[in-house]
Amino acid sequence: MSKYEPLREHLARLEDVVWAAKLNEVEEIIGSNLPKSAREHRTWWANSGGSLVHQNAWLDAGWRVERTDLMRDVIVFRRLRIGGTAIAGGSSQRQRPAHNLQKVAEKRLAKEMAALRQPATVTLRSEWTVLGDVQQTPCSAASIPREGGVVRFAAYDGGEIHTAIVATLSVQESYRGLREEVKGVVKDGGSRFGAAFVQKTGFDLTAPIECDVVKSGNAWLLTDGRGRKANLDDQSECHLVAQLLYLQELQTGRKSALILL
């Protein structure tokens, strides 16, 4: 059986009139790589037939190659007639041996895993906005975002700066929780963030505590040189940015804590 028989069967089953196929799709269907000439020469995709078994695959199925775009790895097939040869018309997915389907899946997985195993560099670019001393800056300050962000609280601890990185979907609520704890005005049913913060960080609330924030629009995630703005209203991305900032704090030698809300 020709290695291109699965392509003939696939085309025979299609109900469309036109099929724009990526070359990797064709490779997945036949279960092996196309020859180098298929990616470099348009003549490989001609409709001559004869002894060219790969061309007979689509011609026997009642299709022809209408256009090739090798720059984009796209081949456009057009149906010539409904059905194909009697053999093609009688083909069915269930008639293909199960081991062929397994082989296709194995090769596709191996190909994808090879790409996934390539070295990758994930970096963060961020800009901090100063909110000021928690003792002095009220919760209603316009500079405090209502939406998600990453907050950094900093205080002196034994003559060294001690920081806490907090990922939150509401910067204002987290800030209010700590400020109320600092002021000793925690209300029933209010935020319990302040007490949990002190328990985890050991901050002395009588000492000055400076606060900065990375707001939405001020953080970019870059993977192998390609970047996009991080969505800090999405919990998973907010946590990722906070974790990267926390690692940065540790790399500077500062004592720090990470809190993911």
- pLDDT for 94 equals 45
- pLDDT for 224 equals 66
Rounded Cα distance, 137 and 179, in Å: 9
Locate the DSSP E strands across 160-238: 160-168, 210-215, 219-223, 226-229
The residues of the chain scoring below 70 in pLDDT are: 1, 81-100, 186-191, 224-225
Q: Is the pTM of this model over 0.75?
A: no
- pLDDT for 127 equals 94
Mean pLDDT (the chain, rounded) = 86
* DSSP-assigned beta bridge partners for residue 20: 76
Could you tell me which residues come within 8 angstroms of residue 261 by beta carbon, excluding any fewer than 6 positions away?
166, 167, 168, 169, 174, 193
- pLDDT for 1 equals 63
The residue ranges of every structural domain in the chain are 5-116, 122-260
- pLDDT for 156 equals 87
- pLDDT for 155 equals 93
Could you tell me which residues come within 8 angstroms of residue 162 by beta carbon, excluding any fewer than 6 positions away?
154, 155, 156, 201, 202, 203, 254, 255, 256
Find, among 30, 116, 45, 119, the residue nearest to 78 by Cα.
Answer: 45
- pLDDT for 170 equals 94
Could you tell me which residues come within 8 angstroms of residue 74 by beta carbon, excluding any fewer than 6 positions away?
20, 21, 22, 23, 68
Counting Cα atoms < 13 Å in the Cβ hemisphere of 8 gives 23
- pLDDT for 85 equals 43
pLDDT digits (tens, 9 = 90+) for 133-154: 999 999 889 989 999 999 999 9
pLDDT digits (tens, 9 = 90+) for 17-54: 889 999 999 999 999 999 999 999 999 999 987 888 99
Rounded Cα distance, 223 and 240, in Å: 13
Provide the total of helices (H) and of strands (E) in the chain, helices listed first.
9, 11
